[in-house]
Amino acid sequence: MLEQLEEPVKDRTSVELFAGGGGLAMAVHRAGFRPLLVNELVKYACDTLLANVAVRRGDEERIPGPNERWPLVSGDVSNVQFEYLWDRVDLLAGGPPCQPFSLGGIAKGDEDKRNMFPQMFRAIREIQPKAVICENVRGLLRPSFKPYFEYIERELRLPFIERDETTNWREHDEVLRDRLAEEPTDPKQRYDVVTMKVNAADYGVPQVRNRIIIVAFRSDLGIDMQRFEQAVSPRYSEAALIRSMLDGTYWERHPDVPGHVRERLMARLPDTPPKEDGMLPWRTLRDAIKGIDGQRPLPPVPWDRLDRREYGLGGLTDHIGWPDARIYPGHTPNELDRPAKTVKAGVHGVPGGESVMLTDDLLSESTAGSPYAYKHRYMTVRETARVMTFPDGWKLAGPRGEQMRQLGNAVPVMLGEFFARAIAAALDEAEGTP
């Protein structure tokens, strides 16, 4: 699988923490960064990385060559030492576990032992990377967490001012506030930080996925942060999708859509097209199944094969029908002609209607009683991987629930690559790279 990833255009380097199933790590690599170290705790996620791009590093602390597989250090990040990578890393990337801040979690916030932001800051102190990118849930911005999130941003600005074990975060925050008001004695130990609210659908991902992305650049590089924010502004919109349906260009891409489906959807659209915004149309679940950016269409899953068996449909792995899909209040299904709903890890990896999709097949009278007129089924793991913009050749380890968990916890590859390329371009400009 390693040779199928795009070759870096420049020998920039990266370190990935909390790598999970590899979404952000793959995105960063595609943007031209060579992984010097990848860390992950969960066994099945480690197995996924090993099956695709990684090799266990062992105890030897060494810098891999350009064509070597990614060195994976599995286990608790608190046991990983980074000093040997000092001043050799362009980009430190990772999505610290989000359960402490997610609306679906227990919401203990900074008191939750699963809060891994302190480990990100330790890695920065031991590596001194040129740039940092973190992805996390919107729950970080909830009013109840806002003071602590602002503290996280200040810690990222001054990561070398380490919090003493006897000091609570509010006391440390006061120290950071005072130091930020002063001129830095060493600009390499201060970072310029921007936090952006993003919806993955606005970046070409066929999924509505609201997250925050935090990007930091070392202050000595002199990055124009306002210019960077402009470079990562959205490129796709819902309004453009509606316009494409009204003017027919969407249906030209999908000429096989049954007439009754098209009529139902068109009846829901406004009579007047939304104002032109210069954006591309949101991509839909139907787009993902048909194939985006050169992918071949996924074959349909026959209704008589929702039996958990691998039939090798289309020669693809993990494109397996699953029985007993349900729709119930609070768990509405995915519709083919909208971006998919947010892929979630869930308690068991497949939380109710979150991974259920309506098809184009009408219900018969004998199966009526559903609030929807169409048959529904669970999305396959491969369909879900496409919604997360993983390539079809990426192998996900473990049983279905663990595969879905990895996808639900991942950063969509297309979203991560867009931001990583913008970071690479900003570094090139700052360093005068042609």
Compute the distance between CA of residue 23 and CA of residue 31 in angstroms, rounded to an integer: 13
Contacts of residue 336, Cβ cutoff 8 Å, sequence gap at least 6: 261, 284, 285, 286, 289, 357, 358, 359, 360
In contact, 229 and 197? CB cutoff 8 Å: no
Q: Where do runs of H (alpha helix) occur along 361-412?
A: 381-387, 400-409
- For residue 362, give the H/E element and its range: strand 356-362
Q: How crowded is the C-beta side of 86, counted as CA atoms within 13 Å?
A: 7
Q: Give the β-pairing of 210-218 and 191-199.
A: antiparallel
Query: What is the overall mean pLDDT for the chain?
Result: 90
Q: Per-residue pLDDT tens for 298-322?
A: 999 999 999 999 998 989 999 999 9
Quote the tokens at residue 159.
């990561």
The domain of 196 spans: 2-235+411-431
pLDDT in the model for residue 106: 42
Amino acid identity of residue 95, one-letter, is G
CA geometry: angle 426, 410, 198, nearest 5 deg? 50
Structure tokens at 21: 């199933």
Check whether residue 14 and residue 150 sit in a common domain: yes
Based on the domain organization, do 172 and 142 belong to the same domain?
yes
The alpha carbon of 93 is separated from its chain's Cα centroid by a whole number of angstroms, namely 12
Q: How many CB atoms lie within 10 A of CB 277?
A: 12
46 is catalytic: no
- Which pLDDT score, from 0 to 100, does residue 165 have? 84
Confidence of residue 329 (pLDDT cuts 50, 70, 90): confident
Instruction: Provide the terminal-to-terminal Cα distance of the chain, rounded to the nearest Å.
Output: 30
Smallest CA-to-CA distance from 162 within 131, 129, 198, 189 is with 189
Region for residue 20 given its phi and psi (left: phi exceeds 0; alpha: psi -120 to 50; beta: otherwise)? left
367: pLDDT strictly greater than 70: no
Q: Is residue 164 domain-shared with residue 298, that is, in the same domain?
A: no
User: How sure is the predictor about 146, in pLDDT bands with cuts at 50, 70 and 90?
Assistant: confident
Specify the residue for token string 């992305």.
Answer: 213
Identify whether residues 222 and 343 lie together within a single domain. Answer: no
* Dist CA 98 CA 167 (whole Å): 24
Q: Given this model, what pLDDT does residue 39 score?
A: 97
Are 42 and 77 within one domain?
Answer: yes
- pLDDT band, very low/low/confident/very high, at 352 (cuts 50, 70, 90): very low
Q: What angle do CA 183, 184, 188 make, to 5 degrees?
A: 155
Same domain flag for 351 and 427? no
Same structural domain, 195 and 292: no
CA distance 428 to 434: 7
pLDDT surpassing 90 at residue 113: no
Strand 374-378 and strand 356-362: the pairing is: antiparallel
Residues 243 and 341 in one domain: no
What average pLDDT does range 343-355 have in this prediction? Answer: 62
Say if residues 158 and 135 touch (Cβ distance below 8 Å).
Answer: no
Whether 55 and 177 share a structural domain: yes
> Rounded distance, CA 434 to CA 431, Å?
9
Write down the pLDDT at residue 349: 41
pLDDT for residue 327: 84
- Confidence category of residue 4, pLDDT binned at 50, 70, 90: very low
Model pLDDT for residues 265-301, shown as the tens digit of each residue: 999 999 999 999 999 999 999 999 999 999 999 999 9
The residue among 118 and 48 whose pLDDT is bigger is 48
Q: What is the dihedral sign for C-alpha 145, 150, 152, 153?
A: positive
Q: Above 50 in pLDDT, residue 208?
A: yes
**Residue 49 CB neighbour total at 10 angstroms:** 27
Confirm if 333 and 358 have CB atoms less than 8 A apart. Answer: yes
Band (348; pLDDT cuts 50, 70, 90): very low
Q: List the structure tokens of 142.
A: 């909830």
pLDDT (mean) for 213-222 = 97
DSSP-derived letter for residue 314 is G
The tally of domains found in the chain comes to 3
Residue 111 and residue 161 in one domain: yes
Q: What's the confidence (pLDDT) of residue 351?
A: 44
Task: Give percent of the chain above pLDDT 70.
Answer: 90
Parallel, antiparallel, or unpaired: how do β-strands 280-281 and 236-237 relate?
Answer: parallel
Q: Please indicate, yes or no, whether residues 141 and 70 belong to a single structural domain of this protein.
A: yes
- Both tokens of residue 102? 């997610």
Same domain, yes or no: 177 and 292: no
Can you list the alpha helix ranges (DSSP code H) found in 300-379? none
Residue of 27, 98, 198, 422 marked active site = 98
Query: Taking 70 as the threshold, does the pLDDT of residue 6 lie above it?
Result: no
Q: What is the mean pLDDT of residues 321-338?
A: 89
Mean pLDDT in residue range 362-375: 73
The pLDDT assigned to 98 comes to 60
CATH assignment at residue 325: 3.90.120
Rounded Cα distance between 63 and 226, Å, is 34
